[in-house]
Amino acid sequence: MAEGLMKRFYGMGTYVQSAGVKNDLEIDGFSVAVCEELGVELSRHRSRSFDEMERMGEVLSSFDVVVALSPLSRDLAEELTRGFHTELEYWPIGDPSAKGETRAAKLEAYREARDQIIAQIKSHWGEPEE
């Protein structure tokens, strides 16, 4: 969600690449649905792991900022960026996949996570130009 929202808000002027601890290949359908509500298209997005990024030639040391959204990704990013001049930020966004039993409750949990990400993005990079 964070990569799609960043691209929607700030365009291609800022290079953004999302990665995680593992690559789930397909993006969660609830993430797709709640981002689609804001005009952010995620259905073609593919999740990558840090290892996969390295194999593709993306070196974490070349990024200005790495943002971790979970404790596990924070710990791994901290280990991978140790010794680099890369800023590491941790935004503790709750895992929406672990919340809600009904479709409506799950969508609400994903909206909450999406809105937390949006608040963090705007706090760090300012209001996007429409």
Domain spans in the chain, listed from the N-terminal domain onward: 2-125
CA distance 19 to 22: 8
Query: What are the tokens at 96?
Result: 């929406």
pTM as predicted: 0.85
CATH code at 2-125: 3.40.50.2300
Note the pLDDT tens digit of each residue in 46-58: 777 777 777 776 7
Strand spans (E) along the chain: 25-26, 46-47, 65-68, 87-90
Indicate the pLDDT class of residue 24, thresholds 50, 70 and 90: low
Is the pLDDT confidence value at 25 over 60? Answer: no
How many Å apart are CA 78 and CA 34, to the nearest integer?
A: 30
pLDDT band at 40 (very low <50, low <70, confident <90, very high): very high
What are the tokens at 28? 């969660």
Give residue-wise pLDDT tens across range 70-103: 898 889 888 888 888 888 899 999 889 889 899 9
